Amino acid sequence: MVVGCGFGGLTAAKALAKLPVQLTLIDRRNHHLFQPLLYQVATAGLSPADIAMPIRAVFRGRRNVRVLLGEVTGIDTSSRTVQMGDHRVTYDILVVATGARHAYFGHDEWEPFAPGLKQIEDALDIRRRILMALERAEASDDAEERRRLLTFAIVGAGPTGVELAGAIAELAKVALAMDFRSIDPREARVLLIEAGERVLPAFPPSVSDCAHAALTALGVEVMTRTAVTGCSADGVSIAARFIPAATVLWAAGVMASRASVWLNAAHDRAGRVHVQVDLTLPDHPEIFVIGDTASVAGADGRPLPGLAPVAKQQGAYVASAVRARLGGGTIGPFVYRNLGSLATIGRGRAVADFGWLRLHGSIAWLLWGLVHIAFLIGFRNRIVVLLDWLWSYVTFKRGARLITGPTGGATPDSPSL
């Protein structure tokens, strides 16, 4: 049984489905989400269906795979049972790949004012906030309020924060530049606030420098060594200063799913379960924990980062381990192969780091586009995304600029979001 259908769970499930086993797949959503492009849904570049694939459709031809939609509420390791409310499902081998959520470092009260970006609903909420801030600014007669509405603060300068900041700057300064009459969206301020020393702290310093320069060229104000001390409906506090901002987005950290609680297992500060070198739980060779939910040491002794390639390699490893067991054998410990990192900064710029090769500018961006198109699941999604990108590259427009859901409206008396 595989619980969770992110990159880790899906990779494991696709490989396990080819073995002579009965496979049950549980997820609380009906789709696998291509999270690396979620920021493009949040900034009106892509539609949700472009980056999501129904899990049932992936396994439609596999009669040995059963897909259950539902929320896991507990795991009983002694009876080998997964609980989903009143419903119980038993397993022989369990793969836990339930991912992570954004975390507020003990300040969960900031969440309503500074949403994070993990699911489709998050992306649609952020898209609504960004577009509604511009609409309200257009309708406002108050210069100070207009300035607040046109200020976008992104907290955290990892890949998600950098990509969001670049995409918002581009949306306001290029795509929407001609669409308003009372305001000039090019006056929008986009702040990228990072507590650490530099943007993209997981990349080498030279890559960070390139990204920093590209962001600045796009008009993003990068603030490093700046810790956020508060978020409210009015803006964001950094040390003694308060910055009025209608839109504050959170990209500063994640917390693993509740798997460590379900499994009653040892975990690190981010809630990630400590697993053995074969990704199993101590004393439970039948339970694998992978992806953002697991804490696994890399070659340098530090825990591996929460990235798609790590989860996918772990998923593939689990399937290999199960295949070996079916044949009565075993395989060696899991070893992560770093195939490089990529991040994009707006239209036509990106940074890439392969260890032996570092790229930036257009060539890294082209590579970034090719890699993401290639990894997108489902033939249709690839073509639609490619077409959307070409279209917006040529026309400078965004195709998915819809405000849906509860908006209120842009009149001055409308309720705040």
Q: Contact positions toward a second copy, by CB under 8 A? A: 28-31, 47-50, 52, 54, 56-57, 60-61, 63, 66-71, 84-87, 120-121, 124, 131, 135, 138-139, 176, 178-182, 379-381, 383-384, 387-388, 391, 395, 397, 399-405, 409-414
The nearest distance, CB 119 to a second copy, in angstroms, is 9
Nearer to a second copy, 15 or 84 (CB): 84
The nearest distance, CB 407 to a second copy, in angstroms, is 8
Nearer to a second copy, 58 or 294 (CB): 58
3-state secondary structure of 341: strand
DSSP secondary structure of 126-169: HHHHHHHHHHHHHH---HHHHHHHTEEEEE--SHHHHHHHHHHH
Cα separation, 360 vs 141, whole angstroms:
42
The nearest distance, CB 387 to a second copy, in angstroms, is 6
The nearest distance, CB 327 to a second copy, in angstroms, is 27
List own/partner pairs for 196-202 with CB under 8 A and 24 or more apart. Answer: 196/157, 196/224, 196/225, 197/224, 197/225, 198/157, 198/224, 199/157, 199/161, 199/162, 199/224, 200/157, 200/158, 200/159, 200/162, 200/343, 200/351, 201/157, 201/158, 202/158, 202/159, 202/305, 202/341
Pairing between β-strand 2-3 and β-strand 94-96 as defined by DSSP bridges: parallel
Nearer to a second copy, 355 or 405 (CB): 405
Nearer to a second copy, 195 or 376 (CB): 376
3-state secondary structure of 99: coil
The nearest distance, CB 400 to a second copy, in angstroms, is 4
Residues contacting 116, CB < 8 A, separation 6+: 101, 102, 122, 249, 250, 251
Nearer to a second copy, 362 or 395 (CB): 395
Residue type, 261: V
Q: Report residue 144 as tokens.
A: 């100070």
Nearer to a second copy, 49 or 308 (CB): 49
Measured in whole angstroms, the distance separating CA 294 from the mean position of its chain's CA atoms is 17
Nearer to a second copy, 183 or 294 (CB): 183
Cα separation, 315 vs 104, whole angstroms:
28
The nearest distance, CB 333 to a second copy, in angstroms, is 35
Catalytic residue status for 163: yes
Choose the catalytic residue: 109, 121, 135, 163. Answer: 163
The nearest distance, CB 153 to a second copy, in angstroms, is 23
Residues contacting 25, CB < 8 A, separation 6+: 1, 2, 5, 9, 13, 55, 59, 65, 66, 67, 68
Do 144 and 101 meet the contact criterion of CB atoms below 8 Å apart? no
> Where in the sequence numbering do the catalytic residues fall?
163
